[in-house]
Structure 1
Amino acid sequence: MTAHWMMFGIKNCDTIKKARRFLEAAHIDYRFHDYRADGLSAECLQQFIDALGYQNLLNTRGTTWRKLSEAEREAITDADSAKTLMLAQPAMIKRPLLRAPDGTLLSGFSETTYQNFIQEKS
């Protein structure tokens, strides 16, 4: 089985749309995994946490975070509590996550970062 580029996120996210357009314009063959349509296993999320740290995955700038009560936000004190929240509400995961064929992950999107990451991993 050939390793390939993977993008993880939620298809209606504006940042996902920008990142997908960038990959398509760069002729990067990738597969998109939508957390809502395709699901998210605890094992997959744990791999993301192991690679990037829960602090780098937890989207504290989005509306889903802002909708949490102060007590719910304060209860996120470690990787386990963050993982539970992200599994229950995948919109809490920063988007997009791009996985290179070698398994390396990149969180977020900017054209420069993607250009450098793709060049380094291709």
Structure 2
Amino acid sequence: MILYGIKTCDTCRKALKALGNVTFHDVRADGLPREVAQAAWARFGDAIVNRQSTTWRALAEDERARDPLDLLAAHPTLMKRPLIDAGGTLYLGWGKDTQAALLG
């Protein structure tokens, strides 16, 4: 299982603690792999971009209008977190539905 997130994100920390043995991929330091971003976009669509983030609010209108995958490549902190890859199945966020699916 791979958790894509940011090490300073409280939600990511909660997910890491609950999941235990998981590989952590820091998107701030290492970026979000393009194939993972494409798979997440195909599964979640527009929900993958966190439009309530500080990063989003700081962007100019023309920047916000860019292709979402290019935007995530340029600003990985815009990604809603965490993004979890559990054997090829993607989960977005750490809500009750994700917790139930991954923790049983």
Same fold (TM over 0.5): yes
Shift of 1:118: 1.4
CA displacement, residues 8-50 of structure 1 (integer Å, 9 cap, x when unaligned): 01111121112112223xxxx2111111233323222112212
Is the Cα–Cα contact under 8 Å of residues 4 and 32 in structure 2 kept in the other structure?
no
Q: Give the corresponding residue for 1:33.
A: 25
Write the distance in 2 (CA, Å) between the matches of 1:62 and 1:94: 9
Q: Which runs of 5+ in 2 are unaligned?
A: none
Q: Gaps (5+ residues) in structure 1?
A: none
Is 1:86 the counterpart of 2:77? The answer is no
1:98 to 61, 84, 89: 84
Which amino acid in structure 2 is aligned with residue 41 of structure 1? P
Q: Structure 2-normalised TM-score?
A: 0.86
User: Counterpart in 1 of 2:58?
Assistant: 67
- Indicate the structure (1 or 2) with the bigger Cα radius of gyration: 1
Q: Mapping of 1:40-55 within 5 angstroms?
A: 40-53=32-45, 55=46
1-structure distance, mates of 2:33, 2:103? 30
Moved over 3 A (4+): none
Percent identity, please: 41
Q: Give yes or no for contact 2:31–2:73 (8 Å, CA) kept in 1.
A: no
How high is the TM-score relative to the length of structure 1? 0.75
Which residue of 2 is the match for residue 10 of structure 1?
A: 6
When the two structures are aligned, how many residues end up with a matched partner?
104
